[in-house]
Amino acid sequence: MHDLLINVAKEDDIVQIIHLLIDHLLELPKSASTRSKLASALKLASASSEDLTVTLRLLENLLRQYCLGEINESELKAHFSNLSPPMQGALVEAVQLRKPEICQFLVNEINAKDHLLMESFDWDVKWIMGNSSLASAREQIATVVLNCRGKDQKLKAMRFEMSRERLAEVIGVLEQCEGSGVDK
């Protein structure tokens, strides 16, 4: 067990550090500004230091273990034995507050290892007014863009078009999923 020594004076400071750490964990792609805020809050010399990298890795690993149920609340507190009991309580409370976000991130991270993971989507509907063989042909086409991330955490856009009939079929399947208890 690693005992993490975090030098803070107030409960607010530990809460701020935990929220910054969680922001850093959830952030895709990782930003230098969050890292520098963490370095400042942890009173480390620079955001590029090896100490910060090791500290962040240890803290992120603890958060993962806690959210996955591998360690309990008292074991989490034991890693921060230099903090007073009220500060340890504030730390656990801050983690508990953001636990759903962390758990969702962990699920997404695991799912993205084998398949692209859809983050968001966009769509557009347009009319095609005629074609090269028949000027009076009218067809409605939906263009869908799926913004996905893979295990490399890079954003990839998948674009495709579908006819009105196919779009209605997809919407029908999605509506069936909504009532079947499938995670949304």
**Two structure tokens written together for 43:** 């009173």
**Two structure tokens written together for 52:** 């910060």
Predicted confidence at residue 181, as pLDDT, reads: 57
User: How far apart, in whole angstroms, are the C-alpha atoms of residue 6 and residue 50?
Assistant: 16
**Two structure tokens written together for 58:** 């240890």
Choosing among 3.30.1490, 3.40.50, 3.10.450, 2.40.30, the CATH entry for 118-178 is: 3.10.450
User: How far apart, in whole angstroms, are the C-alpha atoms of residue 34 and residue 37?
Assistant: 5
Predicted confidence at residue 66, as pLDDT, reads: 93
Residue in this structure with the two tokens 């500060």, named with its chain if needed: 87
Predicted confidence at residue 4, as pLDDT, reads: 65
Bond preceding residue 29 cis, omega within 30 of 0: yes
Residue type at 143 in one-letter notation: T
User: How far apart, in whole angstroms, are the C-alpha atoms of residue 61 and residue 92?
Assistant: 15
Task: Give me the tens of pLDDT residue by residue for the chain, a chain 184 residues long.
Answer: 566 667 777 888 888 888 988 988 888 777 888 888 888 887 776 666 787 888 888 888 999 999 999 999 999 998 888 888 998 999 999 999 999 999 998 888 888 888 888 888 888 888 877 767 776 777 788 898 989 888 777 888 999 999 888 888 988 887 888 766 555 4
Residue type at 84 in one-letter notation: S
Within 8 A by CB and 6+ apart from 71, the residues are 62, 65
Sign of CA dihedral 27, 32, 35, 41: negative
Predicted confidence at residue 180, as pLDDT, reads: 61
User: How far apart, in whole angstroms, are the C-alpha atoms of residue 36 and residue 52?
Assistant: 10
